[in-house]
Structure 1
């Protein structure tokens, strides 16, 4: 399969041994799309003139001649597969390091004692920064998702604080003494009393934002469980982004029906976010005179993320 990543056409496939491969999806002979070719063993054969490339990108065969042209190898992208996710590095190969990957286990991924659902990929016709800011300001839940998230109307009024570390910036919302809504009752059968619920929005990198958090019985403080939503963000182009979501929970691990409910909710919630983000992108791309942007106190975390992201971009450019 081919996926556009940061303006690059990347071919993704697995070898017979199951190893994930990511390399350029454009044949250097006449720019034919390699996803329209075929796999031959662990190699890929171009469907136009039969040029064949190994999983390391090396040109192995040209049917019309005995040797291969100079500089005919494809770009191979460093790949790491962990916790059910494939990470592709499109930058300077010498800067690729698995040490830069986030602690996925801390969020519940790749663990036997957590249940994880992988939601279907969606592609949003908007710049990736709009998606990041949408995830960081969960007060939109009270409005965009007024009819799809039970109890969401209360989120905007929950006080906000910001926690900043070298690894992340978290917009913290701690809901206190909230009525047990239908979703809570489904997640924790028998829970009729009010709950405390964390509504975190944690920026870990431009590729990953975690939302959700711990839940407990409000009166006793008894832990109920933790629900995380792991938002995986892959910019395709300046105005298009691939969006993956994994949900992870440390309760009802052996209840697949609850997992299916999570996925069903996602199919209702995501289109509302996408519509809002794409509407903003259309305005930004229009010829309209934009008003001077204003921010509310709740935007403090998102503004901090903007500055950190700008610093991360400048730092990468300086080492390029």
Structure 2
């Protein structure tokens, strides 16, 4: 089960070529996405309504797509505008279209009721071309349920065991519980890890206090910022967000990450890092190399975990105190799904009007 009334990331903006067709799926629904002449985007289901041929194999004719099986042509709204050899086009000759926008260098699609597609619900990230920053970005596809990737990102106690070399994380991460605060459609997770050896930046600075804080928002969007500060900074800031005028940051990183359920048991994980442009490119590339290694380490353990769980899906798991964040987030997603299902059931009974109910 998935939240339908929600924005999902499908790609970085640079993944869509100007005249190309981008094939993907979200929530088990194959779709094709492309840029339009006005600078916007169109997202259509990847299935011609005539004989079911994939529109990802269509021919572009301006902003329209020509199915390359029998030639039906569809406009960006999904309406059929031409049937070769048939002047009259029945009103039901159409394919589903999805609201689609570009925000913060990501392409987002709305999977539910189009009338509810409010762009204000898109989590506010940092674009790859944010002035004053150097960025790197990429994505990985997982053979796992998207919730398993969410769980991983909501529990940093794994850093010491999965990423001891790539991120240089100590076991103190597994002994330092974060502060978790509720947000509208998400959580904020923050903590200091005190008295750490330098892993990045100036190796001669001595011990450091590491501050990390991230908003984690439905359906699985992480907006992270972190600082390395001189040891003692956590006490100066009373364990709260660092006042950089009192405790300057020796290392600063921002990261935007998003998890998208492509299909049951298949997920996409998109990620970026942004660093102040005072760092030279070679140094940023070196950090990015370690980050990519860490993301691959995550995939390896998560996919292995998922295979084990599939063998005995009803076997209970024992929770620990570090599961608080992921438990709350799963509860939040389940609550939104229940509310949507209740609304759909009420509309089916005729209790409330529901406009543009997706099929």
1:213 is aligned to 2:226: yes
Shift of 1:156: 1.6
TM-score normalised according to structure 1 size: 0.88
> Which position in structure 2 is the counterpart of 1:271?
296
> Which position in structure 1 is the counterpart of 2:143?
125
Shift of 1:289: 6.8
> Which position in structure 1 is the counterpart of 2:61?
40
1: CA distance, partners of 2:278 / 2:185: 29
TM-score normalised according to structure 2 size: 0.79
Shift of 1:209: 2.0
Matches within 5 A, 1:132-171: 132-171=150-189
Structure 2: 5+ residue stretches without partners? 1-21, 234-246, 345-359
> Which position in structure 2 is the counterpart of 1:113?
132
Matches within 5 A, 1:229-308: 229-249=255-275, 251-252=276-277, 255-287=280-312, 290=315, 292-308=316-332
Give the direction of change, closer, same or farther, for the CA distance of 1:225–1:109 in structure 2 (3 Å limit).
farther
> Which position in structure 1 is the counterpart of 2:343?
319
CA RMSD after TM alignment:
2.3
Residues 136 and 201, structure 1, Cα contact 8 Å, conserved in 2:
no
Residues 136 and 202, structure 1, Cα contact 8 Å, conserved in 2:
no
2: CA distance, partners of 1:319 / 1:191: 59
Structure 1: 5+ residue stretches without partners? none
> Which position in structure 1 is the counterpart of 2:238?
none
Shift of 1:96: 0.8
Residues 104 and 124, structure 2, Cα contact 8 Å, conserved in 1:
no
Which deviations, in whole Å up to 9, do the C-alpha atoms of 1:139-174 show, x marking residues without a partner?
111112223222344422333332223353133221
Shift of 1:233: 1.3
Matches within 5 A, 1:60-209: 60-105=81-126, 111-119=130-138, 121-181=139-199, 184-185=200-201, 189=202, 192-209=205-222
Give the direction of change, closer, same or farther, for the CA distance of 1:64–1:114 in structure 2 (3 Å limit).
same
1: CA distance, partners of 2:160 / 2:254: 19
1: CA distance, partners of 2:287 / 2:109: 27
Residues 66 and 73, structure 2, Cα contact 8 Å, conserved in 1:
yes
Which deviations, in whole Å up to 9, do the C-alpha atoms of 1:26-65 show, x marking residues without a partner?
1001110111122111111111111111112111111232
Give the direction of change, closer, same or farther, for the CA distance of 1:312–1:125 in structure 2 (3 Å limit).
same
Residues 186 and 216, structure 2, Cα contact 8 Å, conserved in 1:
yes
1: CA distance, partners of 2:343 / 2:134: 40
The more displaced of 300-309 and 206-215 is 206-215
Residues 214 and 226, structure 1, Cα contact 8 Å, conserved in 2:
yes
Residues 166 and 291, structure 2, Cα contact 8 Å, conserved in 1:
no
2: CA distance, partners of 1:47 / 1:253: 51
Give the direction of change, closer, same or farther, for the CA distance of 1:213–1:48 in structure 2 (3 Å limit).
same
Give the direction of change, closer, same or farther, for the CA distance of 1:152–1:228 in structure 2 (3 Å limit).
farther
Which deviations, in whole Å up to 9, do the C-alpha atoms of 1:60-102 show, x marking residues without a partner?
1112322323311121111121121111001111111011111
SS of equivalent residue, structure 1 residue 247: strand
1: CA distance, partners of 2:306 / 2:232: 44
Match for residue 334 of structure 2 among 296, 310, 317: 310
